[in-house]
Structure 1
Amino acid sequence: MWQAQPRSWRKWWKILAELKQQELLEEHRATVEYVADTLATIAGIPQRFVRIFQRIAPRDQNDLETIDVFYQRIKSYSIDELKSPDVFCKVFLNFEPTSYQLRLIADNSKRIAVMGCRQSGKSYALAVKVILFCLTHPGSKAIYTAPSFRQAKTSFRKVKEHLAMLNPVARRAWILEELKTKVRFTNGSEVEAFPYALDRLRGETCDFILVDEAAFIPDDEELFEGVLKPMMATRWERGAQLIACSTPWGTNNYFYRIFKDPHIAPEWSHQVWTWREAVAEGVIPMSFIENEMRTKDMNFFKREYEVEFVSDEGSWLTQDLINCCLDADERLWDFEEYHTGEFYMGLDLGKKVDYSVLTVVEKVGEELYVRHVKIWPLETPYSAVIGYVKVLSERFRTPYKILVDQTGVGEYVAEDMLNVGIPNLEGIVLTGPKKLEIASYLKQKMQENCKQDSKGKWSGTSRLHIPYLEDNELTKRIIAELNVEKYTLTKDGNIKFYHQEGTHDDVFWSLALAVYASGNAYRMSITPL
């Protein structure tokens, strides 16, 4: 029968490309079929062999060479070996997991609690775990959730980084669609980043749930017991997994109970490693750990590197109250930015032993937002501090009030700041009663809009918002120093503030001064310069 001939070069090239592809397939069909069958079987969809074959079919000589190299890598392994965590990481991801990462990836328990020291690779191990789970459980649904959607997307990014490293042949065979917060696989599985919202999560059906920064989630018990577990009810016998991962924070939350409560802890598999394992595996150099030991607050080091739960005993601000103030949807502003608003600044001065710290808060209605925190290195000249405050006050369009600690040498520094034209600046002497007044006002603002239960735990969202970004050094330090301030009663019944040796409370007093400046009480009792 007569057939119309193509009239454009584009159509001719398409026909020639299809003929070339058919020629390549005929010459190497056995190799391509073996690879397609292996990949389809690993993904649990051997019945879709033809579809996988079509997805990986070589289009040119380069594709054929890639398939041939991949064939040489997988031909010596059985299907079960290729699905094992160690071989899967090596063959498909070019990733050599540490012993503790491999232990986590291979853990098939229904409930897993994870605590690992900073920068030890727990996020990467969890990303591998969810990819392997979705591939070996066709038709499954996995979700990432965290205290904020931004944190969930940050954790989810590790999944996409591993998918980018996935062997190109396997990637074409297994990945159907890759979106910003969702990945769909050819076997019907999908993984998605979810915002933390009880109403949004309730009603979903899932096979794999990862809760990141679980110790910082409000209403955590309701989340785990009332929402997440029912979401997995119909998938429980199919190998469903619930994973809680976090830095240890506070002893009055559900994540702490997962490890310490004798009624809850036995239900969970605990995957824990410290800086020692990370150093032994060559992930973190010992010189870095030694530097962190010297320069960081001991409680901070215990939480972040020893992964220990630190008690709140004697702390002026408890960890659960600080947690109410953490806002993962906010960020700290940079020095180079220009802003307008109702700003208040608090400056705590130090030099040789203590740090100089500047905190800026913005008042928006009844809410207070921490916008900028600057911590100067030890031995920083006061002239550099003065210059910084002057420029920042200009960029933030004239703060309403700047409170400076003028105890000791602070009086002379405050006078120099006035002399260079820094506006709306006032000094304050931090005597014992004045410290109590300022610290009490800070605590009061943090407690506003929160509630305390019968066990003394604070919950809710505070009117004081402190930006919290995962893996951000400055925000971690701010949170740690807020919890470091202790208090005790003296013989005459007064409250005395102190901090343990090796710790610093400069951020605490800088924030307290800024918050105090935003209120009306300070106008009654400030010592004028």
Structure 2
Amino acid sequence: MAKTVEYHPATDPGAFAEQVLGRPLWPHQLEVARSDARYRVICAGRQVGKSTILSSLALFEATTRRNITVLLVSAGEVASRRLLEECTALATGSSVLGGSVLDDSKSLLTLSNGSRIISVPASQRQIRGWPVDVLILDEAAFIDPDIWRSAEPAIIARPGSKVILTSTPWGDSSHFFRALWNRGMLAPDSKVAAWHWPSSISPNVDQSLLDDIQSREPADYFRREYLAEWTDAAGAYFSEQEIMAAVASYEMCAPEDLEMWLDRPYCAAGGVDWGFAQDANALALVSVLEDHGANHEMLGDRLAFFIPWLEVRHNWPYGQFIERVVETAGKYYIRVLASETNGVGAFPTTELRRRSGEARRDMNVASVVTDVRRKQSGFSMIKGLLQQNRLVLPREPELLKQLRALEFEQLPSGSMRIAVPERAGHDDLAMALMQAVSSLSLEGAVRHRPVEVRPLDPDAFVTTVSGLRVPIAARPVMFHDSFMTWPRGQEKGSGW
């Protein structure tokens, strides 16, 4: 008769998750949780429980060991806050752990045993210097290799330190995540072990629905998103090379963290995509990058654009999101904001214009109809800026995924249909970005003053693959004429 193994929550992460957190782990999660490998690497599809395993292991390590540091590094700011929020909710909701939480904020959870869970977006400045016992990287395939080189040394002086990396597939074989995953799959040992989690591994997945999705979706999309396999997307509007060459690990600036601009505002153009039912409302801002002359040799008198802020809100009523946009316009000077009126956008656009006026925001809320030619105009402008090395993208996984998922089809009329395939995920951030970029004036994006030649601190900048230098604490140029009075592009019933 086989002997039943009894696990104790103080020594076993599976028992801890079940008895302390009240959230039992699935078999594939338990396999990772109970692994002895120092580096554990997971390539995963949708709805397989990535955040569950990460938050459970973070709390297990922090609770069962005294005075340790767990560092959560996420590819984007939104993701970094979300993962720590899940850890905090699990800890405070546990009858065992609730009293041990001494302090919690958007970036730090402190326990009574002296352990800390710290969450940061992928930034060399925020990662350097931490002595780390457990290093967790979420959406690791989207994290810049230079960030990895800054984070990995943090564990070398800590006995028993561990590294856990999870991500959906992205990037080529030279990227550290894919290289570690390949090593762990081909030759797992006590140092590196890897797991492959397709969506079908989850006990909650409806296999018949999964089969239906597979029957009507492009093969490369299904392989990437559900089978967790690396693919090279055919028919993609933006190539992966175009996208990744423009990505930089700079720190976006949330409106609430922005210095009050008073008489010297940070100018931006904005775009809003309104959601319906399960879709989300999204806001994206685009502005001229203040690079302090660092790119003058590459660009000459031309200036680069970047995204100072973007956000997406699920299940928010229109009124709440409208107030958020109005609040943002009180910190950033949004010269023009393109707001879609077709679909469900007519009412929220009208209401946004009314609330903006009541709040005395100097923001031109431009009603636009997003038809085929408007999308072609806006996305072709993004593509052109990427190819000219004049647009910097933040390392935000959801935005990068949406841009990569955009596909094009040549129509009989000669125009081009550009869209994310149905059920291929959301396109809200990509659409909001397209609306914002359509309000930029390339003719105005030139220097109006001599470049100040002065030494630049290399530690204050990050560099894109294309060679653009971007301040880590990136900010827009103040008071600039690089914005249209009305978004460009074809509108129904009107000319160009």
TM-score range normalised by the length of the shorter chain: 0.5 to 0.7
The equivalent residue for 2:104 is 179
The equivalent residue for 2:49 is 121
- Counterparts of 1:58-207 in structure 2, within 5 Å, are 83-168=11-96, 175=100, 177-180=102-105, 181-186=108-113, 188-207=114-133
Q: Does 1:516 align with 2:438?
A: yes
State the Cα deviation string for residues 460-481 of structure 1 (Å, max 9, x = none): xx44669x5x8xxxxx4x6544
Q: Does 1:229 align with 2:157?
A: no
Change (3 A) 1:242 1:447: farther
The equivalent residue for 2:170 is 249
CA RMSD of aligned residues (A): 5.2
State the Cα deviation string for residues 396-445 of structure 1 (Å, max 9, x = none): 666476665666xxxxxxxxxxxxxxxxxxxxx57xxx95x754421233
Retained in 2: the 8 A contact 1:257–1:265? no
Cα distance in 1 between the residues matched to 2:134 and 2:210: 34
Cα distance in 1 between the residues matched to 2:217 and 2:248: 22
The equivalent residue for 1:445 is 385
* Structure 2: stretches of 5+ with no match in the other structure: 256-265, 290-304, 315-340, 358-362, 444-483
SS at match of 1:177: strand
TM-score by length of 1: 0.55
| TM-fit CA distance, 1:232 | 1.6
Counterpart of 1:259 (choices 168, 172, 181) is: 181
Counterpart of 1:240 (choices 134, 144, 161) is: 161
Retained in 1: the 8 A contact 2:407–2:421? no
Alignment: residue pair count: 378
| TM-fit CA distance, 1:276 | 1.2
State the Cα deviation string for residues 267-286 of structure 1 (Å, max 9, x = none): 631123222121xx2x3444
Change (3 A) 1:318 1:357: farther
Taking every aligned residue pair, what percent have the same amino acid on both sides?
16
Which residue type is aligned with residue 161 of structure 2?
A: A
| TM-fit CA distance, 1:97 | 1.6
Q: Does 1:271 align with 2:192?
A: no
Change (3 A) 1:288 1:223: same
- Counterparts of 1:383-398 in structure 2, within 5 Å, are 389-392=349-352
| TM-fit CA distance, 1:303 | 3.5
Counterpart of 2:134 (choices 208, 215, 228) is: 208
TM-score by length of 2: 0.58
State the Cα deviation string for residues 207-227 of structure 1 (Å, max 9, x = none): 21111121222xx22232x32
The equivalent residue for 2:238 is 317
SS at match of 1:96: coil
| TM-fit CA distance, 1:144 | 1.3
Retained in 1: the 8 A contact 2:185–2:194? no
Which of the pair has the greater relative contact order for Cα pairs under 8 Å at 6+ separation? 2
| TM-fit CA distance, 1:300 | 5.1
SS at match of 1:152: helix
- Counterparts of 1:3-22 in structure 2, within 5 Å, are none
Retained in 1: the 8 A contact 2:406–2:421? no
More helix by share: 1
Change (3 A) 1:296 1:511: farther
* Structure 1: stretches of 5+ with no match in the other structure: 1-75, 333-339, 349-355, 376-380, 408-428, 451-461, 471-475
Which residue type is aligned with residue 157 of structure 1?
A: E
Structure number with bigger Rg = 1
Change (3 A) 1:328 1:136: same
- Counterparts of 1:260-299 in structure 2, within 5 Å, are 260=182, 268-278=192-202, 281=203, 283-286=204-207, 289=210
